[in-house]
Amino acid sequence: MDLPKEWLTVADICEYMGVSTFVVTSQLRSGTLPAVKFGREWRVARRDFEDWINEQRAQARVRQVEGSG
């Protein structure tokens, strides 16, 4: 993952993932994706985002294995 910033904005994540701001902010509001909020702006530590993505991928693999068994 080539993300040069230490802190990512919602727009950064949307661009990287190719999803809408609604998708990202719903993950942030639910606490699924760890973040901090400065006033009205969300920021996600790059490392937390990378860890979250890897966890999502691992869970998807488990679901695929369970579904094919």
1 falls within a domain: no
- pLDDT tens column, 10-52: 999 999 999 999 999 999 999 999 999 999 999 999 999 999 9
36 falls within a domain: yes
Say whether 38 sits in a helix, a strand or coil. strand
Residues 66, 69: Cα–Cα separation, whole Å: 5
16 falls within a domain: yes
pLDDT computed for residue 6 by the predictor: 95
**64 pLDDT more than 70:** yes
| Domain count within the chain | 1
- What residue numbers bound the domain in which 41 lies? 7-68
22 falls within a domain: yes
pLDDT computed for residue 36 by the predictor: 97
**Containing H/E element for 51?**
helix 46-68
pTM: 0.82
2 falls within a domain: no
Q: What is the 8-class DSSP label of residue 43?
A: E
Instruction: For residue 40, give both structure tokens.
Output: 């009205």
- Tell me, what amino acid is at 16? Y
